[in-house]
Amino acid sequence: MVASTLASSGDVFTRDDDLELVGQAIPFGLKLYESLLDSAPNNKDLLIATCSNFTQYGVAYLETEAAVLGEAKHHDEVAHLNSRA
């Protein structure tokens, strides 16, 4: 039941105005999705939702953060964020 609820996409993260809070909260959510997927690996909707969330996090948050930190003095942080994206 929990897996089905999470698999039905919500927009709580996308409608939040506090991008820093959302960016810090998403990794916990991703681990939660992974844990549920371990217990229900054949749940197609949960698999799609998990993949979608990882993709959105990589593109919308990590790549954006890497671009913002793109100055030479932040080279190490940029490389780290790009490797995670």
- 9 pLDDT band, cuts 50/70/90, is low
pLDDT, residue 8, reads 63
Token look-up 């793109």 returns 70
Q: Which tens digit of pLDDT belongs to each residue from 23-67?
A: 888 899 999 999 999 999 999 999 999 999 899 888 877 877 777
Cα 82 from Cα 85, distance rounded (Å): 5
pTM for the predicted model, two decimal places? 0.65
Residues 6+ apart with CB under 8 A from 30: 50, 53, 54, 57
- Residue type at 66 in one-letter notation: A
Residues 6+ apart with CB under 8 A from 81: 62, 63, 65, 66, 69
